[in-house]
Every structure is written in C-alpha cells, then in structure tokens.
Amino acid sequence: MMKNLSPAYLRAIGKVGRSTCFCVKIVSSDNTVLGFTTLDASLTFNDGFHTVKYDAYQELRPQNIQQEADFESDNTELTGWFTQEIEQLVLAGILDIAEVTIYRVLYLEIDAGIEVIAYGTVGSVDLSADGDGKRKVEFLGLTQKLQRHIIDLYSLTCRASFGDERCTMPLIWTPGTVSAVGDNPLVSFTISGVAQPDDYYLLGVIMFTSGKNSPKSIEVETWKASGAVTLSFPLPYPAVVGDTLKIRQDCDKTETACKAYGNIINMRAEHLTPVEDQALMVPGAYVKSVGAQ
C-alpha cells in the first residue's frame, strides 16, 4: 500500500543531514494516551486524533521493524525506559491490547508532516529490565489477528468463564469498603460490610470501584469471616482505608463446583474422559487399551 505523504515531507526527508526521530503513541481502552520518543527533547504535535506530548524522559525504540507486502504480520519490539507510573498502568491491565502507532518525525520540521511507520496493538510487556535497565513491549501488527487460530481445546476443566454466555450463572456482587490494611496493603486488607463465613470467597474475585485501583479486579487467595482478605497477586497501588469495592464468588471449573452451583448441564469440559493419573489432568494420558501390559 502506498503511503500518502505530503510533498513538504518528501522534500524534507530527501535532504542531506535530515533530522528524524521515532515517536510512539499508545492509546488504552479507557482512552489513556501516552507518548514516547527517541529524541533527547520532548515533542508535542497533533496527529489528527490527539495532541500528545512525546516525553523524552521515557523512550520506546522500535527494533528491526519487519514489514511485508503480503499478509505476513508486522514484527518488532519496542525497547526503552518508562516510569514507575507506566509500570503500574501495565500491572493494572490498562495497557492490555492498547493501540500503538509508531511515527517517524522530522523534529526540526514537524509542520512538514509525519510518517506512520506501523500501527497495531500492545502484546506482552516484559518489566524485567535488561543489563541496561531497558524494558520490552511487544508490538503486534493488525494482520496478527488474522493469523491466530481460535478453537476450543480438549479439557477436563470447564473452558467457559464464570458468568459468561456459555456458563449462564449470574454474577452476584456484594459491596464493601476497605476498613483496615495489613502489613502489605498490596495484598492484604480488611473489608467491612460483607458478612460471610471463612473460605466463602475462596478463589473469588474483588473489583475496586473507587481509588487508584479502580476498576482493577483480582483473585482472592484467602477469606475470613472477619472480612480479612488476602489476594493471589499484588495490586498496582496499595489499598487505602475508605476504598470501595465489590466481591463475588467464582468457580474452580471442576465438575464438583458445577454440581454445587446446579449448573452441570452448562459445563464446557470433557470431564468424564478417563485418566490414569489425576494429577496430570491430561485426557487420555497413560490410558491402556484392553489387554495391554
């Protein structure tokens, strides 16, 4: 596909000693807009959709962009540095499948126009820094979606998500408020306004409805009748007294749980498949035929 570049941009890009840089714009599902640049000074410009400041303090640099004229997926990684604030957005899931646009910009002649190098979505984010302190963000081109094979897998446990259109179970949320925090407010705190016995919300789900963690949802590791709760994974931000939330039960996707909910008819699993070793949870593993030794 031919790019629609302005004559002014084409003239400028053809000059000897042209000054270019990459700018990366990320737009999340909640319309949070972030800008990164490889330049050593911040840039601000409007791409026709957003006026964004591309922050020089945070860099995402495309590595070896691979683009094909056929339907092969565009392939690259974005490497660089970003702040703890961005890291917390990643942990909160705000950047999951966010839109990514990579621009090449003539930073001394921005009015000449900008060039779109690639457009796609955020894939996996590697927060573990390398030896230079850099992080990695996977870039997925639009054709990546066309190449994915989506099928139901063979499983002993239910493939449906609790409460979805296949499961049909209603999600019953109970509102509550953080009344106290533990030694580690990222994973432990006490909820008031919820009265249920020990382990009632074991493997359940909490969703924050106010505070910095809103609308983050996360799994429950332990539940006490006193309202003391421990989470399976740390929150992006510490829980604060006064934060409001809601909590509900969930399902461990086993036959026993489906029967307890009275919903076995909607179970999406091959749970009656014979298995020799239950710990393996692999249908047909080590099942011997008749007469086999």
Provide the pLDDT confidence category of residue 17 given band limits of 50, 70 and 90. low
Q: Give residue-wise pLDDT tens across range 127-159.
A: 665 555 566 666 665 555 555 555 667 788 888
Q: Examine the pLDDT at 190 and tell me if it is beyond 90.
A: yes
Q: Is residue 42 located within the same domain as residue 117?
A: yes
Q: Is residue 19 located within the same domain as residue 136?
A: yes
Q: Which residue has the higher pLDDT, 286 or 41?
A: 41
Tokens of 131: 């030896």
Q: Is residue 15 located within the same domain as residue 79?
A: yes
Q: Is residue 178 located within the same domain as residue 142?
A: no
18: part of which helix (H) or strand (E)? none
- Mean pLDDT of the region 211-226: 90
Render the burial of 25-54: b for 16+ CB within 10 Å, e for the rest: bbbbeeeeebbbbbbeeebebeeeeeebeb
**28 in any annotated domain:** yes
Domain residue limits at 203: 174-248
What pLDDT does residue 244 have?
95
What pLDDT does residue 154 have?
76
Render the burial of 269-291: b for 16+ CB within 10 Å, e for the rest: bebeeeeeeeeeeebeeeeeeee
Residue 122: closest CA among 94, 87, 83, 81? 94
Least confident of 36-40, 141-145, 170-174, 205-209: 141-145
Q: Is residue 72 located within the same domain as residue 113?
A: yes
Q: Is residue 139 located within the same domain as residue 192?
A: no
**123 in any annotated domain:** yes
**235 in any annotated domain:** yes
Residue 222: closest CA among 185, 253, 252, 187? 187
Q: Examine the pLDDT at 240 and tell me if it is beyond 50.
A: yes
**257 in any annotated domain:** no
Q: Is residue 108 located within the same domain as residue 233?
A: no
Q: Is residue 57 located within the same domain as residue 180?
A: no
The CATH number assigned to the domain holding 219 equals 2.40.10
Q: Is residue 126 located within the same domain as residue 207?
A: no
**196 in any annotated domain:** yes
**14 in any annotated domain:** yes
What pLDDT does residue 146 have?
54
How much of the chain, in percent, has pLDDT values that exceed 90? Answer: 23
Q: Is residue 18 located within the same domain as residue 104?
A: yes
Q: Is residue 185 located within the same domain as residue 118?
A: no
pTM for the predicted model, two decimal places: 0.56
Q: Is residue 125 located within the same domain as residue 189?
A: no
**204 in any annotated domain:** yes
Domain total for the chain?
2
Considering the chain, what is the average pLDDT of its residues?
A: 77
Tokens of 210: 């106010």
Q: Which residue has the higher pLDDT, 102 or 192?
A: 192
**130 in any annotated domain:** yes
Provide the pLDDT confidence category of residue 189 given band limits of 50, 70 and 90. very high
